[in-house]
């Protein structure tokens, strides 16, 4: 199966010894610092500014400006229910280089390292703080380990994109929406209908319940639009906790609690920790079946870059069969 995929790469600066409680594993890229796992995210209070270099080649077809496409993709996340994000577009940039430079760049003509991964559509690179209380490189001070300091989205100019839904290329807004999830620190999801699923559908610019859960767990509103709860438990096989199982809550009803927000109903997932425990957060009131499945295809270890390594494991456990763990009403 030849699937065109999104890629994720994280840059981490010098490794410093930091002792902090393990963060929730839910839906974030993770950074291992001094033996502790940190969820990558911006400070909730951050006023985020992105800058676009609108230059692009003929590989992006259609009349709609790329600036409008990227703005629409950011708006998709900032209008998500239960999430409070403060994001604005800054001045356009002519820069074609990226990294820890104080500019959160969106670029179509930057040279990303796609040579070894030609099927990759785009990549988001983040620079993450390794400790709190040190200079953040932008004139401020870091607040926590795992704090994102800089994020850049680089589109692969070797791929054909369209900006207006016409045939002949990958829909650009679909890819931008996915990459902006990474921009906010979200990891890939094994929920097939999620925007953060690692393989690109032809077009999907609306968030799913799984995406809403992920963004709202990280940047929650003080007064949520729709109340949510968490479902927690432990996956065991032969009595031992299973690490790296994909656990997801799937509604058993036709309820649409996020219908007013133009969100697609989907299961909401999480990964198990080394002891087999999991917490599925951001779950709206409904009835659910909770299923645990091995992450053995189509989403595999390498799609959740760094997850196993963050917990000191070489791989997730996949030597078990999919099973319905339990079901209960919420």
**Smallest separation, CB 188 to Zn ion (Å):** 5
Least distance in angstroms from the C-beta of 106 to Zn ion = 15
Cα separation, 293 vs 244, whole angstroms? 9
CB of 290 to Zn ion, least distance (A): 25
- Tell me whether residue 204 or residue 277 sits nearer to Zn ion (CB atom): 204
Q: Which bin fits 312, alpha (ψ -120 to 50), beta or left (φ > 0)?
A: left
* Chain CA centroid to CA 49, Å: 18
CA atoms of 240 and 222, how far apart (whole Å): 38
Piece of the chain touching Zn ion by CB under 5 A; list 7-15, 95-103, 207-215, 321-329: 7-15
Stretch that binds Zn ion, among 2-10, 209-217, 283-291, 314-322 (CB under 5 A): 2-10
Distance, CA of 130 to CA of 32 (rounded, Å)? 9
Q: Which is nearer to Zn ion, 242 or 316 (CB)?
A: 316
Give the shortest CB-198-to-Zn ion separation in angstroms.
5
Residue-level length of the chain = 330
Closer Cβ to Zn ion, 273 or 305, answer by number: 305
User: Closest by alpha carbon to 106, among 114, 115, 98?
Assistant: 98
| Closer to Zn ion by Cβ: residue 8 or 128 | 8
Instruction: State which residue, 153 or 308, has the beta carbon closest to Zn ion.
Output: 153
Of 327, 301, 25, which Cα lies nearest the Cα of 185? 25
Q: Pick from 6, 42, 155, 209 the residue near Zn ion by CB under 5 A.
A: 6
Residues 232-271 that bind Zn ion (CB under 5 A): none
**C-alpha to C-alpha distance for 275 and 277, rounded to whole angstroms:** 6
Q: Which residues pair with 298 in a beta bridge?
A: none
Residue 220 backbone dihedrals phi, psi, to 5 degrees: -70, 145
- Identified binder of Zn ion from the candidate list 2, 3, 4, 8, rule CB under 5 A: 8
3-class state of residue 173 by DSSP: helix
Nearest-approach distance from CB 221 to Zn ion, in angstroms? 25
CB of 196 to Zn ion, least distance (A): 7
Determine the residue with CB nearest Zn ion. 6
- Nearest-approach distance from CB 287 to Zn ion, in angstroms: 31
Q: Does 186 bind Zn ion (CB under 5 A)?
A: no
Cα separation, 85 vs 47, whole angstroms? 8
Binding site for Zn ion (CB under 5 A): 6, 8
């Amino acid at each position: 199966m030849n699937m065109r995929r999104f890629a994720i790469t994280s840059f981490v600066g010098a490794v410093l010894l930091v002792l902090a409680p393990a963060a929730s594993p839910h839906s974030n890229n993770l950074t291992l610092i001094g033996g502790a796992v940190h969820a990558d995210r911006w400070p909730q209070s951050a006023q985020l500014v992105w800058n676009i270099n609108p230059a692009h080649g003929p590989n992006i077809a259609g009349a709609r400006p790329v600036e409008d496409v990227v703005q629409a993709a950011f708006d998709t996340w900032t209008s998500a229910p239960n999430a409070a994000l403060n994001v604005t577009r800054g001045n356009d940039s002519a820069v074609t280089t990226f990294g820890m430079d104080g500019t959160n760049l969106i670029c179509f003509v930057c040279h990303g390292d796609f040579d070894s991964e030609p099927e990759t559509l785009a990549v988001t690179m983040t620079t993450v703080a390794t400790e709190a209380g040190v200079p953040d490189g932008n004139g401020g001070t870091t607040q926590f380990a795992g704090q994102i300091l800089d994020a850049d989205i680089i589109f692969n100019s070797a791929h054909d994109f369209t900006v207006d839904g016409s045939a002949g290329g990958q829909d650009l807004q679909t890819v931008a929406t996915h990459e902006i999830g990474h921009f906010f620190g979200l990891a890939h999801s094994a929920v097939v209908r999620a925007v953060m699923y690692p393989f690109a559908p032809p077009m999907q610019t609306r968030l799913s319940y799984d995406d809403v859960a992920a963004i709202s767990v990280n940047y929650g509103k003080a007064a949520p639009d729709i109340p949510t709860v968490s479902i927690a438990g432990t996956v065991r096989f032969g009595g031992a906790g299973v690490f790296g199982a994909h656990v997801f809550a799937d509604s058993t009803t036709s309820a649409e609690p996020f219908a007013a927000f133009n969100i697609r109903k989907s299961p909401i997932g999480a990964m198990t920790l080394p002891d087999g425990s999991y917490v599925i957060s951001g779950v709206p009131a409904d009835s659910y079946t909770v299923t645990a499945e091995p992450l053995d295809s189509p989403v595999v270890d390498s799609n959740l870059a760094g997850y196993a390594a963050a917990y000191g494991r070489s791989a997730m456990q996949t030597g078990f069969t999919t099973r319905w763990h339990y079901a209960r009403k919420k």
